[in-house]
Amino acid sequence: MTKSVLIDKVAEKVEGLTRKQTEIIVETVFEGIKEALAKGDKIEIRGFGNFRLKQRKPRKARNPKTGESVDVPSKRVLHFKVGKALKDALNAQ
């Protein structure tokens, strides 16, 4: 599903809002999630799941083309843990 399809689905469900108003709401939600994650906060959406950042340690890797050893720096990666209600809904089908 693309963001555009999501906006259309939300606009269908909510009466009284134009597609443009719905687009602003969806964009605001995504911006809020991005800002919270950038600050290092955890996002918890009950019944859906949790988003949080994990710190990945620096490591040695190998370039598969040349076989040369490469240093990979530490970095933050996004981790999503699915919520129970979503997990149950996915496994019910």
pLDDT in tens, 6-65: 999 999 998 888 999 999 999 999 999 999 999 999 999 999 999 999 999 999 999 999
The region, left, alpha or beta by phi > 0 then psi within -120 to 50, assigned to residue 67 is left
Give the 3-state DSSP-derived string for 24-92, with helices as H, strands as E and coil as C: HHHHHHHHHHHHHHHCCCCEEECCCEEEEEEEECCEEEECCCCCCEEEECCEEEEEEEECHHHHHHHHC
**With contact defined as beta carbons under 8 Å apart, do 55 and 88 qualify?**
no
Amino acid at position 46, single letter: R
Encode pLDDT of 9-25 as tens digits.
999 998 888 999 999 99
The structural domains of the chain, with segments of one domain joined by +, span 1-41, 43-93
Enter the CATH code of domain 43-93: 4.10.520.10
